């Protein structure tokens, strides 16, 4: 049977490479070799070619070499008798196909620039549903989910389901398991993506239903995404194809569902994917490849009934997924977090445009005053409000337990946002007293009520944080007066809390915390979180790590006795170094907490911002992930992240959180905030109030306005006159390279 697969896939490989050569030749003739070739807003060039062959393709001319590699990889056809072994040749043919397809897709961006929409979301109104290569902001944001486990893997769905309703069922089931669905190819002109649209399912990165493209060649966007993750988070070097593919096999839990008739070109792509360790499951009667080895388990499994496809797929890939079981009448899971509810689909709005009072507040209560699982609603429920109406809402969660500490309150409180968002048909933004909730008509029709918010919070907080409390009850106030009362009460608590965290210092505690959450992807990377250096991803501050350790004592956040302070200015701690050396498997032996010039802390690639040295300005710039433009360092965020991700120490660069910029210890080893000469305008605006405050503390109240941004310039030469004019303090400071 494998022989038939080999026969077909090798044939498919020839077809694809030959077509690609044709496309290439025509493009070369039309545009010339200097035509730029790229996937817009992405790093790593054409990522499959770059990661496997180490060839940076920047122009049409550059694509010649990898296309030649693809041609050379094509093996002889399989003879009917006394044939030569075909497994290796089959995989080579598959790889040839994929290399060729990546070039074809890149050429499509030149020939038909509007074919793909460079965005996180589709634009149904304009009929733009093909997303193509994930731009870097999307990639970083989504890639992190593969790192922290909120996305266990992805399925590449090739072809189309028997009908849109079945497509919807499959998609929903994968969403419930938090698995990303990457869609490509068509079955006689019908695509899975369009079937979902037809069935009224919201597609796009935000719902994890990613419509890459209508052709089989769009499979390269899925594989490219995987390889970018390995380079960005795994520190796999371009050209190290062996590590790259093993990284994917061991850490990226992806697989293919081939729906409908499998032709030779699909077979070639399936064979290509086996190189990555990604198996294919088909609903049709195709030859199977069951013995294990290149993939973890089976390579090709056929005749899988549609209703067993998902269960069988995760089993074949060796993946454990959990479906959140929360007693609500709608689907529930992380995949629904990004779902939008537009005005037209909305039944009810809380806060936001309706300006009703909202607040979310988690507070401790004595054991005898909490009845676990009790959910009370004070005021009207959704059904009491007409369609398109609004309500105020105070969510008060009362927690009791011997192990529960006041410090855990904000941590639990921060969960409200995504836990509410996970419900299909419910959209949540903001936090504390600036939250907003929208509930869709569909969800209300299915029976979703305000009380279900309580059900969700009780079930999920128990599931995730059960170790630190015993009992939890939820009070929901929709009565306007009561809601406002609760909000005012909570506001007083917020003030006390904020002061407590802000006043903590690195000197004031002997215990820091490690964070090795990302080691599933970046095996050598170790974060150490101190009170004044929050986690570079922005998600974990010292308090969070402490709570996380209490909740899960063997988990990724471990206490580190900072030990002897070896350098106060640079922030070198003996205990931290010892821990890092061990946890990084000897890759990193010395880390300066407060410096980018000397042994900076590593990053997995998930950092919110990257600071880089600007030698001519004697200063430092920083750029956040959402800013996609050029920077005075000569590199975009994506390129910077590509240079330094994966747990490597890169002096001159360091990853950090946005909040870290306004923390007192921000790069004090290099001169601190006064060194900051450039940052994107949006980031400056976001942090403006705090920057003003910090400026005042440093004796330069208008420091924020002396910092350049993209409106001033994108090169050091362009910003230097501005800095001089504004008398930026960095210019007067001692040389960074002293």
Residues lying near other proteins in the complex (CB under 8 A) are found at 1-3, 6, 52, 73, 78, 81-92, 95, 148-149, 152, 241-243, 245-247, 250-251, 253, 274-275, 289-294, 297, 299, 314-315, 318-322, 516-517, 519-520, 523-524, 556, 585
Residue 470 CB, nearest distance to other proteins (Å)? 24
Residue 86 CB, nearest distance to other proteins (Å)? 4
Q: Which is nearer to other proteins, 87 or 501 (CB)?
A: 87
Q: Which is nearer to other proteins, 86 or 722 (CB)?
A: 86
Residue 73 CB, nearest distance to other proteins (Å)? 6
The b/e string for 600-617 (b: 16+ C-beta within 10 A; e otherwise) is bbbbbbbbbbbbbbbeeb
Q: Which is nearer to other proteins, 152 or 695 (CB)?
A: 152
CA 517 to chain centre: 14
Question: Who's near 705: CB < 8 A, 6+ residues apart?
Answer: 726
Q: Which is nearer to other proteins, 52 or 635 (CB)?
A: 52
Q: Which is nearer to other proteins, 78 or 377 (CB)?
A: 78
Helix (H) or strand (E) holding 492: helix 480-502
For helices 264-275 and 87-111, angle between their N-to-C axes, nearest 10 degrees: 110
Residue 310 CB, nearest distance to other proteins (Å)? 14
Residue 234 CB, nearest distance to other proteins (Å)? 8
Residue 701 CB, nearest distance to other proteins (Å)? 46
The Cα 104–Cα 106 span in angstroms is: 5
Residue 84 CB, nearest distance to other proteins (Å)? 5
Alpha-carbon distances, residue 360 vs 477, 483, 487 (angstroms): 11, 10, 8
Residue 464 CB, nearest distance to other proteins (Å)? 13
Residues in the chain: 738
Q: Which is nearer to other proteins, 290 or 367 (CB)?
A: 290
Helix (H) or strand (E) holding 197: helix 192-198
Question: Who's near 341: CB < 8 A, 6+ residues apart?
Answer: 425, 426, 427, 438, 439, 440
Q: Which is nearer to other proteins, 187 or 519 (CB)?
A: 519
Q: Which is nearer to other proteins, 90 or 397 (CB)?
A: 90
Find, among 235, 215, 225, the residue nearest to 151 by Cα.
225
Q: Which is nearer to other proteins, 5 or 370 (CB)?
A: 5
Residue 688 CB, nearest distance to other proteins (Å)? 37
Q: How many CB atoms lie within 10 A of CB 56?
A: 12
Residue 535 CB, nearest distance to other proteins (Å)? 16
| φ, ψ at 257 (rounded to 5°) | -110, 115
The Cα 149–Cα 139 span in angstroms is: 15
Residue 147 CB, nearest distance to other proteins (Å)? 9
Residue 292 CB, nearest distance to other proteins (Å)? 5
Find, among 179, 173, 273, the residue nearest to 221 by Cα.
273
Strand ranges across the sheet with 393-400:
358-364, 393-400, 471-477, 375-378
Q: Which is nearer to other proteins, 251 or 533 (CB)?
A: 251
Residue 15 CB, nearest distance to other proteins (Å)? 19
| φ, ψ at 493 (rounded to 5°) | -65, -40
Q: Which is nearer to other proteins, 137 or 649 (CB)?
A: 649
Cβ-contact 66, 239 below 8 angstroms:
no
Q: What is the DSSP string of 532-565?
A: TB--TTSS--HHHHHHHHHH-TTSS--EEE--SE
Residue 209 CB, nearest distance to other proteins (Å)? 22
Residue 302 CB, nearest distance to other proteins (Å)? 14
Beta bridge partners of 702: none
Residue 245 CB, nearest distance to other proteins (Å)? 6
The Cα 89–Cα 5 span in angstroms is: 12
The Cα 439–Cα 436 span in angstroms is: 10
Cβ-contact 529, 513 below 8 angstroms:
yes
Helices (H), 591-653: 637-644
Residue 620 CB, nearest distance to other proteins (Å)? 30
Q: What is the DSSP letter of 605?
A: S
| φ, ψ at 667 (rounded to 5°) | 50, 35
β-strands 471-477, 393-400 pairing = antiparallel
Q: Which is nearer to other proteins, 103 or 382 (CB)?
A: 103
Q: Which is nearer to other proteins, 33 or 291 (CB)?
A: 291
Q: Which is nearer to other proteins, 141 or 243 (CB)?
A: 243
For helices 219-232 and 264-275, angle between their N-to-C axes, nearest 10 degrees: 10
Q: Which is nearer to other proteins, 95 or 262 (CB)?
A: 95
The encoded tokens of residue 252 equal 């990226």
Rg of the chain, C-alpha, whole Å: 27
The Cα 443–Cα 424 span in angstroms is: 7
Q: Which is nearer to other proteins, 236 or 707 (CB)?
A: 236
The Cα 581–Cα 526 span in angstroms is: 9
CA 215 to chain centre: 25
Q: Which is nearer to other proteins, 239 or 713 (CB)?
A: 239
The b/e string for 227-252 (b: 16+ C-beta within 10 A; e otherwise) is bbbbbbbbbbebebbeebbebbbebb
Residue 323 CB, nearest distance to other proteins (Å)? 13
The Cα 641–Cα 609 span in angstroms is: 9
Long-range contacts of 196-200 (CB under 8 A, 24+ apart): 196/164, 196/167, 196/168, 196/171, 197/124, 197/129, 198/164, 199/164, 199/165, 199/167, 199/168, 200/168
Q: Which is nearer to other proteins, 275 or 482 (CB)?
A: 275
The Cα 707–Cα 628 span in angstroms is: 19
């Amino acid at each position: 049977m494998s022989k038939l697969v080999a026969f077909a896939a090798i044939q498919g490989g020839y077809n694809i490479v030959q077509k690609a050569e044709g496309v290439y030749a025509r493009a070369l003739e039309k545009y010339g070799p200097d035509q730029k070739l790229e996937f817009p807003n992405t790093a790593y060039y054409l990522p499959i070619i770059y990661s496997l062959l180490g060839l940076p393709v920047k122009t049409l001319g550059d694509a010649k070499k990898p296309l030649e590699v693809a041609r050379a990889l094509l093996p002889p056809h399989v003879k009917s008798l006394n044939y030569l072994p075909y497994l290796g040749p089959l995989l080579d043919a598959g790889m040839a196909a994929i290399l060729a397809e990546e070039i074809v897709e890149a050429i499509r961006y030149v020939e038909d620039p509007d074919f793909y929409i460079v965005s996180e979301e589709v634009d149904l109104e304009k009929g733009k549903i093909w997303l193509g290569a994930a731009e870097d902001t999307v990639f970083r944001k989504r890639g992190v989910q593969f790192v922290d486990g909120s996305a266990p893997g992805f399925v590449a769905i090739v072809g189309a389901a028997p009908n849109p309703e079945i497509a919807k069922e499959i998609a929903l089931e994968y969403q419930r398991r938090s698995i990303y669905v990457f869609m490509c190819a068509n079955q006689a002109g019908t695509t899975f993506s369009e079937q979902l649209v037809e069935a009224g399912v919201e597609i796009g990165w935000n719902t994890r239903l990613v419509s890459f493209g209508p052709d089989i060649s769009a499979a390269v966007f899925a594989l490219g995404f995987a390889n970018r993750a390995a380079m960005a988070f795994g520190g796999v070097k371009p050209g190290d194809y062996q590590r790259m593919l093993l990284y994917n096999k061991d850490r990226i839990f992806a697989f293919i569902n081939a729906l409908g008739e499998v032709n030779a070109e699909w077979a070639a792509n399936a064979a290509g994917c086996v190189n990555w360790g990604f198996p294919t499951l088909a609903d049709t009667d195709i030859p199977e490849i069951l013995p294990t080895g290149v993939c973890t388990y089976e390579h090709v499994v056929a005749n899988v009934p549609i209703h067993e496809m998902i269960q069988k797929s995760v089993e074949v890939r060796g993946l454990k997924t959990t479906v959140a079981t929360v007693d609500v009448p709608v689907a529930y899971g992380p995949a629904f977090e990004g779902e939008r509810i537009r005005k037209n689909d909305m039944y009810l709005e809380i806060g936001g445009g309706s300006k009703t009072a909202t607040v979310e507040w988690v507070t401790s209560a004595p054991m005898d005053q909490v009845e676990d699982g009790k959910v009370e609603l004070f005021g009207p429920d959704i059904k009491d409000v007409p369609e398109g109406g609004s309500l105020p809402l105070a969510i008060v969660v009362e927690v009791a337990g011997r192990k529960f500490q006041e410090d855990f309150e904000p941590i639990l409180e921060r969960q409200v946002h995504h836990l509410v968002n996970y419900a299909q048909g419910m959209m949540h933004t903001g936090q504390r007293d600036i939250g907003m909730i929208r509930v869709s008509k569909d969800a209300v029709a299915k029976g979703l009520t305000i009380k279900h918010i309580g059900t969700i919070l009780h079930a999920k907080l128990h599931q995730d944080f059960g170790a630190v409390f015993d009992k939890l009850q939820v009070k929901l106030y929709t009565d306007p007066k009561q809601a406002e009362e609760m909000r005012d009460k909570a506001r007083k608590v917020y003030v006390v809390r904020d002061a407590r965290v802000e006043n903590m210092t690195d000197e004031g505690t002997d215990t820091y915390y490690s964070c090795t959450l990302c080691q599933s992807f970046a095996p050598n990377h170790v974060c150490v979180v101190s009170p004044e250096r929050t986690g570079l991803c922005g998600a974990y501050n010292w308090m969070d790590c402490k709570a996380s350790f209490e909740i899960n004592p063997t988990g990724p956040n471990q206490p580190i006795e900072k030990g002897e302070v070896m350098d106060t200015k640079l922030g070198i701690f003996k205990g931290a170094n010892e821990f890092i050396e061990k946890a990084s498997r000897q890759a990193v032996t010395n880390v300066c907490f407060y410096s980018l010039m000397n042994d900076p802390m590593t990053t997995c690639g998930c950092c919110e911002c990257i600071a880089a040295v600007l030698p001519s300005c004697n200063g430092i710039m920083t750029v956040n992930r959402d800013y996609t433009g050029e920077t005075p360092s000569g590199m975009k965020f994506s390129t910077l992240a590509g240079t330094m991700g994966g747990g490597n120490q890169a002096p001159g660069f360091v990853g950090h959180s946005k909040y870290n910029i306004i923390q007192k210890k921000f790069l004090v080893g290099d001169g601190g905030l006064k060194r900051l000469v450039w940052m994107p305008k949006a980031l400056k605006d976001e942090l403006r109030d705090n920057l003003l405050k910090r400026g005042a503390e440093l004796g330069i109240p208008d420091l924020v306005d002396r910092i350049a941004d993209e409106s001033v310039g994108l090169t050091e030469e362009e910003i230097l006159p501005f800095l001089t004019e504004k008398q930026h303090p960095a210019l007067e400071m001692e040389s960074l390279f002293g």
